[in-house]
Chains A and B, each alone.
Chain A
Amino acid sequence: MKTLRRWLGLGFFYAFQLGFVRPVLRWYWGAQYRRRSSVPKGPCIVVANHNSHLDAPLLMTMFPIGRIGHVHPVAAADYFGKTAWRRTIVMIGMNAIGFERTAAPGKDVLQPTVDALSAGETLIFFPEGSRGTPGVIGAFKPGIGKIVQSVPGVLVLPVFLSGAERSLPRGQSVPLPLGLDVIIGKPRTYSPLLDARGIADMVRADVLALAPPAPAVPGPRPTPPTRVACCGIDREANRALFLALAGRLGSAGRTIGISDTVLESDGAGLRESDGIPLARGRTVPKLLAWAFRTGGMFRGNRFAEMVQRAHMDEALQDGRTARFVVSDGSPLVDLLAWGEADFYSGAFDEKGLQQLLLFVSGARRIPLRQWARFLRKAPEVWLLSVFDLSHPPAPDVLVLITREPASAMERIRSQGRAIESWENETFLTRLQEGHRRVAAVLRRRRIEVFELDAADLDVDRAADEIEAACRRLALKGAEAVQKG
């Protein structure tokens, strides 16, 4: 009898998956998958954001038919075990493992999931717990961390689901045929030595990193953020002013600070941000930088970092995330200054610089006849333009911190790190001059420029002045948006 029930259940499962779930998701919703090849061949935990009843079936369809018998969504037993109908559809039709959300005394609710993983099965897990508010990714509960700790070395596959929150959100019964997108990340392991909360936070960051920027919904459009960039050859002075500005502007509105790390500030102090959604990684720019031999300030990985920072800057353009964006350096300004110093060798040609600005900002493509010249002298600009890697936006306020190149060199030497080939007095002089020329070009484009001397820099006073300018610009921007 038990065997017969098992076979009947299996028959129902395959009939439900192949005859209903897959065709409906494919033809009614038109599900699309990105990087499906990243799905591991062996057991793993698939972790995704959760906004809809479509999420688990959608994740099941990522797997080939031959494997779906070994894939189990983890479902809340108190909800899905309530009625016979739900039990049949979810526990049998979806091959789910029941999960008690409220633990009985002395019972480990995660044990069935750990057992399944140990037996070589794959789990679909939604660490948010429930479907939550559509489009909002809540905090991940530490349960995922505990499972990872219990099964050391288990692969976790982060997945971002988009569209299901609009097609069938919580509280709705009519499923609308709107496109569903499944963005699959790279499988990875987490150290079981970390605490469960820490692992859950890392998993959430990995899922969030796959999120594309949200599409613009109707309604009042937020004002684009006011951008401030601290540039110049003195990295320490740039950094000091950057931190001061990022902290202060937080009291006027949510501020994102982009430096080696991403910071955020909203009046409650400056802290590390828990992630700006970034859709693209560094691999492609890094490979291109290596293949086309970018050099100096933008050599190899640094070029990839610059591209990623430019992406981040672009992603913040919609104004939904931050009111102010403060950056330690600016991809656009630094690349232009580098181009001016290296490409034009300091021989000022404003027309050339204007043209370079158009190429770097993506407003114009480098014409074919100039490719050889750019490839030879400024492959960084050529790569950005030809491969459309990013369109770094111009700042609204440029803070240019100058310093005597000789004194800047002394400071670099005193840091005790290896000096790079381009870090010499002659080139720093040219680079600083390049920054000045870029500032002059941007000033003509009505960008507010503050030129400060690092030798007598009073960080607080300068930050006061720049903060006032930023607030004024933000107000002006908001008024302009209101006027349409």
Chain B
Amino acid sequence: MPAIPKLVIVLAATLAIVAPFAVLAGRRGGRYRALPGWIAAWSQFAILIVALSRLTPTVSFPLLGLVMFVALKQYFTLTPLRPQDRWAIFVAFISIPLALWPTWAGSFGLLSAATVIGLFLLIPVLLSVVPRQPGLLDALGRVLLGVLVFVFCAAHFGLMTRLPAGSLELFGITALLADLPQRLTGRIRPGEERVRPFLGVVASVVVAGAVCALLAPMASTARLHGGVAGALIALAMAGGSLVSDAVAQDLLRTQSDAVLGRAAFLDRTLPAIYAAPIFYHYLRAVAS
């Protein structure tokens, strides 16, 4: 029987420790109310991470593609476009295999070319070709944000399979522990100037930096670089949650019934996906 890698055990243990705590805290209500759902989403995310890291690409990449498809579907359900923008949405979905192919080949250059040239330049044309144009820039922002986060950033999970073994699990553990302090203190929200969320980000940077530095040698990375990568993950996740809150505010502020439980998806996935490219490029460009 093959030995279970240490980082997989650490990831499972982290989830096992945080889960009861999150469920109990969720009973207190208020800002802790979302914690049980959040930890459930993280459990699924952990399975994806381990699958990407340990299974062969023929199995793990279609799985990643499926997750990207579901994520993009939820995103476009939450952020409707104009009726005439159907082809732009169609191309956004088609872009998932186009982005996965270069990641399969392990080429960031190709991924950039496919995303930047193929999508960021093609989608504005598709949106502009329709006859009626009120709301063009708004629609463009919606499509490009979806493609940027759920195709371009998410494809970096595929690229991470090319990093030293264990890097994906290291990312998962660090991102989970970076997210926790921000959730406990309440996250930074657009336009709010309260001190507590900022303290949450500071705590998140410290915890993520320390944990990532501690575990980095298991992923063949120097402790120093692990610490910096952890801190970067925490900061990127704070940025991601700020974006997800701003999007939710723009779309759903008074429409809690309109989304029928789909809104939590943005809140749970966007911060971690946002952090993936930063972690990947730091480890690839600086640490190696």
Contacts and interface: CB of A to CB of B under 8 A. Distances in A.
B191 to A, nearest CB: 13
A221 to B, nearest CB: 9
Interface string B47-89: 0000000000000000000000110011011111111001001
A365 interface: yes
B27 to A, nearest CB: 13
Interface string B149-191: 0000000000000000000000000000000000000000000
B160 to A, nearest CB: 26
A174 B262 CA distance: 24
A181 B255 CA distance: 15
Contact of B90 (A166, A176, A219, A280): A176
Given A30-B70, A174-B90, A177-B93, A215 B254 contact: no
A32 interface: yes
A216 interface: yes
Interface in B19-47: 29-30
A318 B260 contact: no
A213 interface: yes
B260 A32 contact: yes
A217 B260 contact: no
Nearest to A174: B90
A217 B254 CA distance: 14
Interface string A148-173: 00000000000000010010010010
B142 A178 contact: no
Contact of A279 (B70, B81, B257): B257
Interface string A19-50: 00000000000101010000000000000000
Contacts of A215: 78-80, 251-252, 255, 258-259
Given A30-B70, A166-B83, A218-B82, A179 B262 contact: yes
A32 B261 CA distance: 9
B74, B77, B93, B259, most chain A CB atoms within 10 A: B77
B139 interface: yes
B134 interface: yes
A318 B254 CA distance: 8
B142 to A, nearest CB: 6
A212 interface: yes
Nearest to B250: A216
Contacts of B259: 212, 215
A217 B82 contact: yes
B135 interface: yes
A212 B80 CA distance: 14
Contacts of B138: 218-219
Given A30-B70, A174-B90, A216-B251, A179 B77 contact: yes
Nearest to B77: A179
B258 A213 contact: yes
B257 A280 contact: yes
A387 to B, nearest CB: 10
A220 interface: yes
Given A178-B77, A179-B74, A134 B258 contact: no
Interface string A105-130: 00000000000000000000000000
A393 B274 CA distance: 35
B239 to A, nearest CB: 24
A460 interface: no
Interface in B233-261: 250-252, 254-255, 257-261
Contacts of A34: 260
A214 interface: yes
A166 B78 CA distance: 12
Nearest to A316: B254
Nearest to A135: B83
A166 B80 contact: yes
Interface in A167-199: 169, 172, 174, 176-179, 181, 183
Contacts of B81: 217-218
A226 interface: no
Contacts of A365: 30
Given A134-B83, A218-B139, A219-B135, A181 B257 contact: no
A317 B90 CA distance: 32
Nearest to B31: A365
Contacts of A163: 77
A174, A179, A219, A386, most chain B CB atoms within 10 A: A179
A219 B90 CA distance: 20
A32 B139 CA distance: 25
A220 B251 contact: no
A318 B253 CA distance: 10
Nearest to B138: A218
Given A177-B73, A218-B82, A219-B135, A317 B254 contact: yes
A462 to B, nearest CB: 31
A212 to B, nearest CB: 4
Contact of B80 (A213, A217, A315): A217
A213 B70 contact: no
Interface of B: 29-30, 69-70, 73-74, 76-83, 86, 89-90, 93, 134-136, 138-139, 142, 250-252, 254-255, 257-262
20 contacts: A30-B74, A166-B80, A174-B86, A174-B90, A176-B89, A176-B90, A177-B69, A183-B260, A213-B254, A213-B257, A213-B258, A215-B255, A217-B135, A218-B81, A218-B138, A218-B139, A219-B82, A219-B138, A220-B135, A315-B254
Given A34-B260, A166-B83, A220-B135, 17 more contacts: A30-B70, A32-B260, A134-B83, A166-B80, A176-B76, A176-B86, A176-B89, A176-B93, A177-B93, A179-B74, A212-B259, A215-B79, A216-B250, A217-B135, A218-B136, A218-B139, A280-B257
